Amino acid sequence: MRLATWLLTSFTLLLIPPATTSAADRPNVLMIMVDDLGFSDVGCYGSEIETPNLDALADGGLRFSQFYNTAKCHSSRVSLLSGQYCIAAGDTALRHAVTSAEVLRDSGYFTAMTGKWHLKQQPTDFGFDRYFGHLSGACNYFRGDNTFRLNGNAWTVPPQDFYTTVANVDFALQFLGDARESGKPWHLYVAFNAPHAPLQALPQDYAKYQGRYEAGWDQIRQSRVAKQVELGLLPADCQPSPRPEHVPAWNSLSEARKRFEVKRMTTLAAMIDRVDQEIGRLVGDLKEAGEFDNTLIWFVSDNGACPYDRRSNKLDALPTDGTVTWSDSTGWAWARNSPFRYYKQNQFEGGICTPAIVHWPAGIRRDAGSVVRQPAHLIDILPTFAEVTESKIPTEYPGRSLRPVSGQSLRPVFNGETLQRKQPLHFLFASDRGLRQGDWKIVSFRSGAWELYNLAVDRTERTDLAEREPERVESMVQRWTRMARELLHAPDRAYAPVGPANLPHRHPEWTHFDADPSESRRGGQAKTNSRSAKSGKAIRARKNTKLEIADDELRLQFSGEDSGLAFDRLPATLPAGPYALAFQLQRRAEGGGDVFYTTDAKTALPNGNHVAFELDKQGQWRDHTIRLDTKLRLHKLRLDVGEGDGTATVKDLRLLDDQGQVLLRWP
């Protein structure tokens, strides 16, 4: 009888399929995103900057040599969270998407985030159980801004002993403690705002890199490319892109320019070093908790190094407190994106290809330290998270009209297999465009003529083959346009035909090296106002904005991010608030609206106060009244009513007091 029972039990067990992964075996997921990091900015990608913690993760995991982003801050965050291209997902409002936090939370995970949000609403509205950080796209590292939140509530930045990179990990460690108390597996998203401008570093980090950059960007870039070849990231015969016409040779710079440029790169190195130190704190905590081997750690950047040289102050000081703010350098951005061409926002490799490190000893089957040479994209991260955590990406979600995810799980890559991509990789931000189809790539600089490159033999995009292969260009352009229209649901103007070639490529906000750096002008260009500043009613068209004034209308044409109107010097006779900004608006543009304002003479926009509001893009006139809740006097004001390419007309623009009386009227 015992023998019969044993045989029956054994046979029954054989019929039961083995479990794939128990709940206890599901990995924790740590997603780390940095801001404006160049391809060669960490040690394991060729840098002289000391990043031992990231290097160790790469040595124990994988590095991607062809990992793509969207070339811009907010759009990359949308793609990372949603698995979709930004426009398809509903842009910053995420109207047509779910986030990784929502997918994993609904699958039993504890979810938390720290750092930069840069989208609509708050992370706690999109599936994160815990959140600390700033909702804005950039802030002072020592002083923060008024968009800091803790679990959905306003959080006041302390007046001293604060630095955002450190604070992000302080709170991340607290949230990990909460996660462990919950008994659930966890998903933590840490979005550092470093090394995005303003360039500001902790004193000890800045001191560490003093004296290292006097050789200049030509030699630094040469050294980085040589190290990339040595590390196996690049083939030995890879030819780096040449120094472009808009970046002068280091030795041709004035001594004043050299001094300032050395200080800017010293600061950037210090900021990147600090990010690595804080990642080291996170890794140490995981090891102490026994979670390191079964935590999927993913490190990426939102775009390549930034070339936009906007406004800097106190050039002779050190950027080691919140009073000194420096902007980016086009020359150093070129060196930091080695060996590629161009920068953030451009769809050339320098803008869209950045470091990507994956570490997960319990789940990766490739040899530790491998370099993955297959193309991958931020849109692939959510599908990968869903597969490895056995979570389901929904097709319906309350309050949203979901569109399909465009990314693919990279789990096969973890297993040493080749990923069979179902469709080309599509790139579009503002007027910059691109498509990667197999080894072939087309790219357009600010809607100029399409260029064609064979990345299998020309990874650095040195030889444009468009004139030799017009049929291939036409076929790929048709595919790009079809995807823009049918997959992204982009507006018609986003895929209008490109214009003629305009070479060499230029941008008004790249550094003008002929200008004395002490002039601190935006890109070296002088400012113009529509009225004298003495009137107190001066209107300044912000970057990427053309302004025409006709009667009582302000007619705007946008051609990029951060467009809008600024009012830099309001009358000193204004009474104290609160106020309201009222206007009529007709527009054909994407994105929401924003009002930024300051209540003291020293704070520079967009720092200070921020009010976001929803906008309609249908071309109908709409009335808007935006309340500015302050009891102080208004000093500066900024109004943004669109993103990317588009047009808008503002009419009857008025500043009202709390009783509705008109204090100022523009134009």
User: Nearest 5°: CA angle at 276, between 604 and 291?
Assistant: 125
Q: What is the largest CA-CA distance in the chain?
A: 104
CA dihedral 318, 319, 325, 329 (to 10 degrees): 90
Structure token pair of residue 346 = 């451009």
CA–CA dist 663, 448 (Å, integer): 44
Residue 266 near residue 202, CB atoms below 8 Å? no
The candidate with the shortest Cα–Cα distance to 591, out of 198, 70, 78, is: 78
What one-letter code names the amino acid at 632?
L
DSSP 152-196: TEE-PPPSSS--HHHHHHHHHHHHHHHHHHHTS-EEEEEE--TTS
Residue 282 has a CB neighbour count (10 Å cut-off) of 21
Cα 378 to Cα 489: distance, rounded to the nearest angstrom: 19
Count the helices and strands in the chain (H runs, E runs): 13, 27
Phi, psi for residue 478 in degrees, rounded to 5: -60, -40
d(CA 1, CA 629): 83
- 23-201+218-427 fold: Alkaline Phosphatase, subunit A (3.40.720)
pTM here? 0.79
List, edge to edge, every strand of the sheet that includes 565-567: 540-541, 565-567, 636-640, 593-598, 609-613
Amino acid identity of residue 357, one-letter, is I
* Encoded amino acid at 230, one letter: E
Q: Token pair of 654, please?
A: 């008025």
Pick from 86, 51, 53: nearest CA to 427? 86
Name the strand (E) or helix (H) holding 370: strand 370-372
Distance CA 326, CA 349 (A): 26
Burial 139-156 (b: 16+ CB within 10 A, else e): bbbbbbbbbbbebeeebe
Beta bridge partners, 555, equal 548, 649
For residue 460, the SS3 value is coil
Question: Nearest to residue 157, comparing CAs of 540, 227, 168?
Answer: 168
Q: Which residue reads 């008025």 in tokens?
A: 654
Closest to 270 measured CA to CA, from 329, 344, 217, 211:
211
3-state secondary structure of 221: helix
DSSP-derived secondary structure for 37-61: --TT-SGGGT-SS--HHHHHHHHHS
The whole-angstrom separation of Cα 303 and Cα 74 is 10
The strand pairing partners of 113, in sequence order, are 131, 189
CA-CA distance, 157 to 164, in Å (whole number)?
10
Q: Which residue has the tokens 């960490």?
A: 42
**Which pLDDT score is estimated for 666?**
87
| Residue 273 to residue 271: CA distance in whole angstroms | 5
**Length of the chain, please?**
667
Whether residue 193 contacts residue 35, with contact meaning beta carbons closer than 8 Å, is answered with: yes
What are the tokens at 235?
């083939």
Residue labelled with tokens 């491998």: 370
Q: Read off the tokens for 348.
A: 């050339």
Query: Which residues of the chain carry a pLDDT beneath 70?
Result: 1-24, 520-537, 551-552, 560-562, 617-618
Q: CB atoms < 10 A from the CB of 296, how many?
A: 23
Q: How many CB atoms lie within 10 A of CB 432?
A: 23
The pairing of beta strand 565-567 with beta strand 540-541: antiparallel
Domain boundaries, the chain: 23-201+218-427, 428-495, 530-666
Query: 424: which 2 tokens?
Result: 């080309």
Beta bridge partners of 370: 62
Helix 255-288 / helix 164-182 crossing angle, nearest 10 deg: 10
What is the distance, to the nearest Å, from the Cα of residue 583 to the centroid of all Cα atoms in its chain?
31
- Residue 537: predicted pLDDT: 58
428-495 CATH, one of 3.10.20.740, 3.90.950.10, 3.90.1150.110, 3.30.1120.10: 3.30.1120.10
Alpha carbons 546 and 563: distance in angstroms, whole number = 9
Separation CA 288–CA 639 (nearest Å): 48
Contact residues for 96 (Cβ-Cβ < 8 A; gap 6+): 84, 88, 89, 90, 400, 401, 402, 403
Q: Treating both helix axes as pointing N-terminal to C-terminal, what angle do 255-288 and 52-60 enclose, rounded to 10 degrees?
A: 50
- Looking at the DSSP assignment, which residues form a beta bridge with residue 28? 295
Q: Which residue has the tokens 């309609």?
A: 616
pLDDT of residue 621: 81
DSSP structure class, residue 308: B
Residue 643: DSSP 8-state:
E
Burial class of 174 by CB neighbour count within 10 A (0 to 12, 13 to 18, 19+): middle
Question: Do residues 14 and 278 make contact, with C-beta atoms less than 8 angstroms apart?
Answer: no
CATH of 530-666, one of 1.20.120.550, 2.60.120.260, 1.10.287.1080, 1.10.8.60: 2.60.120.260
DSSP state of 353: B
CA distances from 87 to 93, 126, 323, 489, 626 (A): 10, 18, 37, 7, 26
